[in-house]
Amino acid sequence: MGASAADPLPHVHSESDDEDTEQGDDASVDVAAQVRVRKAFLKHYASGADSRSRLLDSAADTLRALAQAIPRTCPGCGVSAVFGGKRCSVTIVTWEQPVIAEIPVGWCTTCKQGCNLLPVQADCVSDSNSGWDLDRAHSGKNVLWWHQSVLQMYDILSFRTRHLSADAFCDAMMNSWERNGISRPSSVSATTLHANVLPGV
């Protein structure tokens, strides 16, 4: 006999039924996972911030120690130089933070001129002649050393986007410092960065 109007239609199993069930299960799992992630974020955010602070401090200490090391010889001629107590304050610019270092300045008796660790020896380049020859840096003058990592980042981004100006990059970098909880030192300002922006790129 044929099925009457009151008879229920026979159910035909299809793959879509399995997909609906799986999607329903996934949705419940996703919601539960989101709740766990949200709770973990709120509970452990402070310890995460402490981890970042320690990482930044460690990076700054390493870079500062390298830059402040007294050279064994004059970078120019390779002969031993005399280093007294003279130092020059230099700001090393990185994407994560600016690092202040007091660079020893000595005197080479062979070259008959001042000598110091060169920026390139600290994986940096300088935006001015006085950044290479710190003996000629005037007292109170802001000397910047740009770390190669930040120059590399600008080079990659400007190549990929074709629309990134140096000024916009510097503004974003200072915003990165602020997000990392780093106060901008008096030796660095937007005007200083924009006027001496990204040497060699």
Type of residue at 36:
R
How far, in Å, CA of 169 to CA of 157, rounded?
A: 9
Rounded average pLDDT over 183-198: 71
Q: For residue 96, tell me if it sits in a domain.
A: yes
Q: For residue 158, tell me if it sits in a domain.
A: yes
Rounded average pLDDT over 14-26: 53
Res. 138: pLDDT tops 80: no
Q: For residue 22, tell me if it sits in a domain.
A: no
Q: Which domain holds residue 187?
A: 65-69+87-105+116-195
Q: Select the highest-mean-pLDDT range: 13-17, 103-107, 167-171, 190-194.
A: 103-107
Res. 10: pLDDT tops 70: no
Res. 1: pLDDT tops 60: no
Q: For residue 97, tell me if it sits in a domain.
A: yes
145-183 pLDDT, tens digit each:
999 999 999 888 888 887 778 888 888 999 999 999 998
Q: Count how many domains the chain has.
A: 1
Q: For residue 149, tell me if it sits in a domain.
A: yes
Phi, psi dihedrals of residue 55, rounded to the nearest 5°: -65, -45
Residue 137 has what pLDDT?
Answer: 83
Residue 61 has what pLDDT?
Answer: 96
% helix, strand, coil for the chain, step of 5:
50, 15, 35
Residue 41 has what pLDDT?
Answer: 76
Q: What is the pTM of this model?
A: 0.74
Q: For residue 168, tell me if it sits in a domain.
A: yes
Q: For residue 170, tell me if it sits in a domain.
A: yes
Most distant CA pair in the chain, distance = 116
Q: For residue 51, tell me if it sits in a domain.
A: no
Residue 94 has what pLDDT?
Answer: 95
Q: What is the DSSP letter of 96?
A: S
